[in-house]
Chain A
Amino acid sequence: MIETYLPLIIMLVFGFGIAVVFMLLSEWLGARRFTPGKVSTYESGMPPRGTARERFSVKFYMIAVSFIVFDVEVVFMYPWAVQLGTLGISAFIAMMFFIAILFAGYFWELRKGGLDWD
């Protein structure tokens, strides 16, 4: 069982290793000419104003919360999906009941405007 995962782990190491090799190659071949303008933050050629470490629109966090709700539900459904053939009709009805509850929340969020971007 664990042997099937070995190539997978080796591949993760390989992927990282290749990235390191490319970085070292570019360190070796790349130019290095320092100018102060080069290391300043890019803001379309204007002198940068302030930093990017400021408060951010809450809309993105709303999306993240909705995502957590749906994604966790969907992940829970994977074992059920694989075993559906053996579990039969009662498991199917149970899961549809669960999805119905999930969708009650979805429609509530829709009506409250939680999914509107503007």
Chain B
Amino acid sequence: MEQNFVYDLIGENLIGYVIVAAMPLMFVLVYALVAILGELKISAWIQERLGPMRTGWKGVLQPIAEVVKLLQKEDITPANVNKPLFNVAPFIMFTGAYAAYAVIPFSSVFVPSGINIGLFYVFAVSAFAIIGIVMGGWASNNKYSLLGAMRAAAQMISYEIPIAIAILAVATLAGSLDMQEIIKQQAGGIWNWFLFGGTGSIAKVWVIPFTFALFLIYFIGSLAETNRVPFDIPEGESEIVAGYHTEYSGMKFAMFFFAEYSNMFVVSAIITILFLGGWQSPFGDFMNGPVWQSIWFISKAMFFVFVQIWLRWTLPRLRVDQLMYVTWKVMLPVAFVAFFAVAFWAMIK
């Protein structure tokens, strides 16, 4: 159904499928290096430091040095851990983090797997991270790890509900769970994005506060899903050392780390798709070719990655009870009210 430019070039055969499956991998590896450098440099600028300066021009080779360093680290498996689970957990995190890229459309002519339940698939795959965290934390047989894993699981499942409702509201607006279809419905410039209620007459202005609320709920929830500040309680170093990955070292630690950065892009991409028109140009048909689309998509998503890094170095950490208060007593009712309004609008329009 979806056209994919790779299939036009080589045909829809096994080689084509493998190339399509490998392309996001190239993107993820480059993105991870950029994100690590971004984290180091942005944190430095926020704190009026220079950040890494010695590896390459102004320290741009720092992330590569970090990867080499992590590869050379000793992989320690503590004596008291549950070895099978301890070793499998990072693989689950890593595979789950990469699997979400399968349905992210980078352009109108490229989506790795154009399945018609893309949104639902992302929602399902994001649960991989919870399993990986609980598995790793419990198997470590360390009190910090266990507490960190339990907190992470409680936090992630709690915030998944408002997120699911925000996704549901967009599904009612778009009438589809297909990523490409959702983006196509937001064609025609910034005013038609689901952040502003989607396409429709001027009568849609009353629904804009509700879509905006859902956008904020999704963004806040996604911060909690990726365990980023202000929701990094599972890794709160002042209380529980490093949380669920306390006992991990070397490459296994790097996999948890990589999964976090990878998930940062996934949630940013989903925000972009759901509310900011995905690969649609903000100016309607102006600057809206297949290449422009991927530039728009990646810039919008990277903007949200930047906001996440920015927040990390700006906000303090919440307490566990505050965290649970926010999701169960504020975000859940607000999300349902906003969902009611948006579903009503989707039905009458």
Chain A interface residues (CB < 8 Å from chain B): 3-8, 10-12, 14-16, 18-20, 22-23, 25-27, 29-33, 38-44, 48, 51-53, 56-57, 59-60, 63-64, 66-67, 70-71, 74-75, 77-78, 81-85, 88-89, 92, 95-96, 99, 103, 106, 110, 115-118
| Residues of chain B with a CB closer than 8 A to A116's CB | 321
- Report the bound CA distance from A12 to B346 in whole Å: 35
Known: A56-B146, A110-B329, A117-B325. 8 other contacts (CB 8 A): A8-B115, A11-B25, A11-B98, A15-B99, A26-B72, A48-B80, A56-B150, A84-B175
A25 to B: closest C-beta gap in Å: 6
In chain A, what residue has the closest Cβ to B98? A15
Judged by a CB distance under 8 angstroms, whether B160 is at the interface is yes
A26 touches B113 (CB 8 A): no
Given A64-B154, A77-B168, A32 and B74 contact (CB-CB distance below 8 Å): yes
Asked whether B302 is an interface residue with its Cβ less than 8 Å from the other chain, the reply is: no
Nearest CB of chain A from residue B341's CB, rounded to whole Å: 12
For A28, give the chain B residue with the smallest CB separation. Answer: B71
A-B contact pairs, 26 of them (CB 8 A): A4-B114, A7-B102, A8-B102, A8-B103, A11-B24, A11-B113, A12-B98, A15-B96, A18-B94, A19-B91, A23-B75, A30-B71, A30-B251, A39-B79, A41-B79, A42-B144, A43-B142, A43-B144, A52-B141, A56-B150, A71-B157, A83-B175, A84-B172, A84-B343, A84-B347, A89-B347
Say yes or no: B102 contacts A11, CB within 8 Å.
yes
Query: Are A4's CB and B1's CB within 8 A?
Result: yes
Binds A, one of B13-21, B54-62, B190-198, B204-212: B13-21
Inter-subunit contact A12/B99 (CB<8 Å):
yes
Flag whether B90 is at the interface (Cβ < 8 A): yes
> Is A16 within 8 A of B91, CB to CB?
yes
Contact call B328/A115, Cβ cutoff below 8 A: yes
Tell me how far the C-beta of B242 lies from the nearest C-beta in chain A, rounded to whole angstroms.
9
What are the residues of chain B within 8 A of A75 when measuring CB–CB?
164
Q: Are B161 and A67 in contact (CB under 8 A)?
A: yes
Q: Does chain A have a CB within 8 A of B199?
A: no
CA distance A35 to B25 in the complex (A): 37
Closest to B158 in A: A63
When the two chains form their complex, are residues A16 and B145 in contact, meaning their CB atoms are under 8 A apart?
A: no
User: Does B66 sit within 8 A of A, measured CB to CB?
Assistant: no
- Is there contact, CB below 8 Å, between A78 and B112? no
Task: Report how far A117 CA is from B164 CA in the complex, Å.
Answer: 22
* B75 CB, nearest partner CB in chain A, Å: 6
Q: Which residue of chain B lies nearest to A59 when distances are taken between CB atoms in the complex?
A: B154
Contact in complex: A11, B251 (CB < 8 Å): no
Asked if A42 and B246 make an inter-chain contact with CB atoms under 8 angstroms apart, the answer reads yes
B91 (CB) vs chain A CBs: closest residue: A19
| Chain A residues within 8 Å of B143, by CB | 43, 52
- Bound complex: CA of A40 vs CA of B80, how far in Å? 7
Q: Contact: B21 with A10, CB < 8 Å? A: yes
Contacts of A27 in B (CB 8 A): 75
Q: Which residue of B lies closest to A110 (CB)?
A: B329
Q: Are the C-beta atoms of B141 and A51 separated by less than 8 Å?
A: yes
Interface centre among A7, A10, A88, A118 (most CB of B within 10 A): A7
A10 to B17, Cβ gap below 8 A? Answer: yes
Q: Which of B90-110 contact A (CB under 8 A)?
A: 90-91, 94-99, 101-103
In contact, A99 and B336 (Cβ under 8 angstroms) = yes
Which B residue sits closest to A53, measured CB to CB?
A: B141
Query: With A11-B99, A39-B78 as given contacts, are A117 and B347 in contact (CB-CB < 8 Å)?
Result: no
- Given known A-B contacts A51-B141, A63-B158, A88-B347, A96 and B72 have beta carbons under 8 A apart: no
The answer to whether the Cβ of B250 comes within 8 Å of any Cβ in the partner chain is yes
| A-contact bits for B135-158, CB 8 A (1 contact / 0 none) | 000101111111000110110011
Q: Is B232 an interface residue (CB 8 A)?
A: no
Q: A81 contacts which of B138, B154, B168, B324 (Cβ < 8 Å)?
A: B168
Whole-angstrom distance between the alpha carbons of A61 and B73 in the complex?
Answer: 37
The 8 Å CB contact of B160, one of A30, A42, A71, A95, is A71
- Inter-chain contact B18/A10, CB cutoff 8 Å: yes
Q: Cβ of A11: which chain B residues have Cβ within 8 Å of it?
A: 21, 24-25, 98-99, 101-102, 112-113
